Amino acid sequence: MTDEGLYWFVIDIANGFLTGTMIGGYYAIISIGLALTFGVMRLVNLAHGDMLIVAAYLASVILSILPVSPFASLIVVAPAMFALGYLLQRLLLNRVSVQAMEAKGLSPNFGLMSPILVTFGLGIFIAHGLLEMFSSDARQMRNSLAFTAIRLSEDLNISLLRLIFFVIAVVILVLLQLFLRRTHIGRAIRAASDDARIAPLMGISTAHVYGVALGISLAIAGAAGVMIGMLRSFQPFDGPQFLLIAFGVVIIGGLGSIAGSLVGGVLLGIVQVLAGTYFGPSAQLVAGYMLILLVLAFRPQGLFSR
Amino acid sequence: MSTSAPEDNRSGFFAAAARGGKRPLLTVSNLSAYYGELRALFDVSFQVAAGEVLSIIGANGAGKSTLLKSIVGMMNRGKAAHIEGIIDFRGRRLDRLGTEKIVEAGVTMVPEGRRLFARLSVEDNLFAGAFAARCRQNAPKRLKEVYDLFPRLAARREQIVSQMSGGEQQMVAIGRALMSSPDVILFDELSLGLGPAVVDDVYRNVRRINERGVTCIVIEQDMKRALAVADHVLVMLEGRVVLEGRAGELSETQVTAAYFGSSVERRRA
């Protein structure tokens, strides 16, 4: 290898790791809500991707009325998404849970299957609802940061926006961890996740705790939706592609682990960027799925699962 | 329920309650329980006075655990399990409340097999026990009291409970129940899976908790131990109460006969 060849090799690898890591933070925020609701109530929320898009549209509507920074829209988007999640769980998903099925005299297995079907249908409903309201034109949130780069060396840059997203991602994950460890409701969420039948003996209402869990899941999805809208354009039917990313991250990192989501996101990001660099853009997706398959084959519980 | 006072040299809440004259803390009337179509309890009635220890004795399948689960609302599961009858606690109908409301009202249970939150630390398990709104403010104070009662837990507060011995886990389970500042604690099969020395220790702690004014209802397989700890005894057979009385007034023979269903002195509560 010539000196110049070696130089570019090092630059490519460094770029892969840097950009991949930045993307990983963004992936973690897209995914953490899915991991949280699965960890707490074994809910596989197939509408998770569509919820990200709902948040993106909500933010873009707010910005069209009030021309503020997209980040400021989170003041409304996050609480609105929390409320949506809480109500969705209390009014709809708690009615098809394991406990609800048992109370109806049905097999608890229905309680595992039904929420998957319900959220699948919900996802379709949301996508078509968005299409009805906003048509299929792609939207985006304009912002001055998208094309700003930080120059690390002559040939190595990172996007300022991605760096900000990474920092926000780490802050959100740390706050979530503190919330789950230090607050009464956080402990109740972990207790209900550990043993939902015994949690009520602690005075814990699982219906409420599950509502809070989906609320937090969607509030974080709100942040992810705003990030999506700042990075790229989005359309009503974009949800499933983000759901796939979220599944990938959760499989790699391991379910129910917050640190695992970050590591899973970062690994997926690095592999995709490197594959894109060496084999062209179309290799990005393939390499991502290869990584997911490898993890499933050799460590199906995920890298961080206990 | 017998009205004669047993010998009692303790003071405080307990003594006042045992002397009678106080209205019962918990009254169960004509309680029946069903798992789907299967009936597990048949018109069970009894009363518990404030501050006493009630032992429920009976063979496997006699309905002891079902009775405790009914009191804490864990049999209110629609078609899967339901109860009929009245459970009155200080004038409140527990039979109509969900488990979390019953705990909020002051009745809790140490479940069979401990059922700790296995992935949580000792302290997180204890704090989880103080989730009810009326307990949250006092949680740090209650935590200190639990650590005073079980100093061994204080030294291991950060440990994940699944790595602890059975006896230590039982301490966590009892401590967790105490965190909700209950007036009544139901203990389901306290000694299950524990060595004899550890069981002695567990029962000493039940006594200490009782001396602080907490009413205790205990399910225990070992008849001698059940009689030793109790002020008041209930013997169950096939979902019915077949013998009830003050611990000091019942002979072991009487209890054994009722336990095996050969009693001539069957007596409905």
Q: What's the rounded mean pLDDT across residues A109-113? A: 89
**Between chains, do A190 and B120 touch, taking CB under 8 Å as contact?**
yes
Rounded-to-integer distance, Cα B30 and Cα B244, Å: 15
As a residue count, chain A comes to 306
pLDDT at B18 over 60: no
Q: Which pLDDT score, from 0 to 100, does residue B262 have?
A: 73
Rounded-to-integer distance, Cα A108 and Cα B60, Å: 26
Q: Which pLDDT score, from 0 to 100, does residue A145 have?
A: 79
Rounded-to-integer distance, Cα B259 and Cα B53, Å: 19
Q: Which pLDDT score, from 0 to 100, does residue A1 have?
A: 66
ipTM of the complex: 0.85
Give the residue on A whose Cα is nearest the Cα of B176: A202
Rounded-to-integer distance, Cα B6 and Cα B50, Å: 14
Residue A102 pLDDT grade (very low, low, confident, very high; cuts 50, 70, 90): confident
**Between chains, do B77 and A103 touch, taking CB under 8 Å as contact?**
yes
Q: How far is CA B78 from the centre of its chain?
A: 24
Give the residue on A whose Cα is nearest the Cα of B140: A184
Strand B107-110 versus strand B184-187 pairing type: parallel
Mean pLDDT computed over every residue of chain B: 88
Residue A15 pLDDT grade (very low, low, confident, very high; cuts 50, 70, 90): very high
Residue A148 pLDDT grade (very low, low, confident, very high; cuts 50, 70, 90): confident
* B142 at interface of A, judged by CB pairs closer than 8 A: no
> What fold is seen in the domain B1-106+222-269?
Rossmann fold (3.40.50)
Q: Left if phi > 0, otherwise alpha if psi is -120 to 50, otherwise beta: which for B150?
A: beta
pLDDT tens digit sequence for A196-208 = 999 999 999 999 9
**Between chains, do B129 and A202 touch, taking CB under 8 Å as contact?**
yes
Q: How many H helices and E strands in chain A?
A: 11, 2
pLDDT tens digit sequence for B1-11 = 444 444 334 33
> A104, A198, A208: which to substitute to probe chain B, counting the most B Cβ within 10 Å?
A198
Q: What's the rounded mean pLDDT across residues B187-206? A: 90
The b-or-e profile of B104-114 (16+ CB within 10 A means b, else e) is: bbbbbbbbbeb
**Between chains, do B124 and A190 touch, taking CB under 8 Å as contact?**
yes
B 240-269 residues inside an 8 A Cβ radius of A: none
- Are B195 and B188 in contact by the 8 Å Cβ rule? The answer is no
**Between chains, do B117 and A198 touch, taking CB under 8 Å as contact?**
yes
Q: Report which residue type is found at A273.
A: V
Chain B residues closer than 8 Å to A190 by CB: 117, 119-120, 124, 128
Q: What's the rounded mean pLDDT across residues B150-164? A: 94
pLDDT at A45 over 60: yes
Q: Where exactly are the structural domains of chain A?
A: 20-237
pLDDT at B54 over 70: yes
* A151 at interface of B, judged by CB pairs closer than 8 A: no
Rounded-to-integer distance, Cα A53 and Cα B72, Å: 44
Give the residue on B whose Cα is nearest the Cα of A185: B131
* B74 at interface of A, judged by CB pairs closer than 8 A: yes
Chain A residues closer than 8 Å to B187 by CB: none
Q: Report which residue type is found at B45.
A: S
Give the residue on A whose Cα is nearest the Cα of B133: A203
Q: Which pLDDT score, from 0 to 100, does residue A306 have?
A: 59
Q: Which pLDDT score, from 0 to 100, does residue B83 have?
A: 97
pLDDT at B167 over 70: yes
pLDDT tens digit sequence for A243-257 = 999 999 999 998 778
Residues 6+ apart with CB under 8 A from A280: none
Q: Which pLDDT score, from 0 to 100, does residue B16 have?
A: 40
Q: What's the rounded mean pLDDT across residues A4-8? A: 92
**Between chains, do B103 and A200 touch, taking CB under 8 Å as contact?**
yes
Q: Which pLDDT score, from 0 to 100, does residue B22 have?
A: 57
pLDDT tens digit sequence for B78-105 = 989 999 999 999 999 999 999 999 999 9
Residue B177 pLDDT grade (very low, low, confident, very high; cuts 50, 70, 90): very high
DSSP string, B176-196: HHHTT--SEEEESSTTTT--H
* B83 at interface of A, judged by CB pairs closer than 8 A: no
Q: What's the rounded mean pLDDT across residues A178-184? A: 94
